[in-house]
Structure 1
Amino acid sequence: MEIKFAKTVGEINFCKEVILGFRPNLEPETFADQILCMMKSEYFKLAYIPDEGGTKAAAFIGYRTLSTLRTGKMIYIDDLYTDEAHRGKGYAGALLDLVTKEAAQIGAPSVQLDSGYMLHDAHRLYLNKGYFLACNHFAKLIA
């Protein structure tokens, strides 16, 4: 399986279907510009695995390197998703391995992510990859 990095609008749009499948809150007309802005100003990276026909992305991961007082330098995974038609092929695990390797290369002692409570299959993958439940995440919506 080949893992690629999206760096252009065309490469981001190659991932459009799988990204919007996971994040339907995004505007189809502007999501690529939003990702490009995140890449330029927030050190965001987007990696993906093309489907067998090479016509679209089957899975993607979005992540960034950052530092916090709690963790020091780390990689934070914003998104990890595999299209339903392509699950069970090891794509998500391969993308997690890519990020783990990058963390080791840059000297980041941890990789962090948040996951929804009901995503049991994802949790099983994370636990099998050596992740552990470190904290609860709280959010407050501002109207």
Structure 2
Amino acid sequence: MTDTAILRHAETDADVLACFDVMQQLRPHLQSPGDFLARVSTQRTQGYCLLAVWEGGKPVALAGYRRVDNLIHGRFIYVDDLVTDEAGRGRGHGERLLAELGTLGRAENRERMVLDTGLANALAQRFYFRCGLLARGLHFSMDLS
């Protein structure tokens, strides 16, 4: 990780659009920067925030998250998206984003941080274990379309 990397939320439409290329590496179904901006705008009404590691004014790693309250976890941070640009992986950006979300959650008296990952994504699972996240359940879903 370089000293020039800063953490900053993508708050403006221009900031969000600048994040498209990195997010598309995690979410290849995103059709265009405009599609991404529209989805983020909708998700913002549900509390979605996009935290980025910026280097030279360009986002190189992203964490999309929400502050959530429910009966199973209480008050928690849910990490929707976590991705580092392929060229910058292995430089500590993911750990830095998760650490910042943990700091934010503790400051807001959140009880935990929660995220989902694919069962076949062994590299991500190993990364999450190294960062102190534990597998505590199995996520089920059903396609409705």
TM-score calculated relative to the size of structure 1: 0.92
Other-structure match for 1:102:
104
Q: CA deviation at 1:25?
A: 1.1
Q: 2:39 aligned with 1:34, yes or no? A: yes
Other-structure match for 1:8:
12
**Higher mean C-alpha deviation, range 125-134 or range 94-103:** 125-134
Distance in 2 between the 1:102 and 1:46 partners?
13
Unaligned runs of 5+ in 1: none
**Higher mean C-alpha deviation, range 78-87 or range 25-34:** 25-34
Distance in 1 between the 2:123 and 2:107 partners?
28
- 1:27-106 paired onto structure 2 within 5 Å: 27-28=31-32, 29-39=34-44, 41-51=45-55, 53-54=56-57, 56-106=58-108
Distance in 1 between the 2:123 and 2:59 partners?
20
Number of aligned positions between the proteins: 140
Other-structure match for 1:127:
129
TM-score calculated relative to the size of structure 2: 0.91
Distance in 1 between the 2:96 and 2:127 partners?
11
Q: CA RMSD in A?
A: 1.2
Distance in 2 between the 1:21 and 1:128 partners?
22
Q: Residue by residue, what CA displacement relative to the aligned partner does 1:16-73 show, whole Å, maximum 9, x if unpaired?
A: 100112111123132112202211x11111011124x43x321100000011111111
Please point out which of 3, 21, 26 is paired with 2:25.
21
Distance in 1 between the 2:114 and 2:135 partners?
10
**Higher mean C-alpha deviation, range 124-133 or range 106-115:** 124-133
User: Percent of aligned positions with the same letter in both sequences?
Assistant: 29
Unaligned runs of 5+ in 2: none
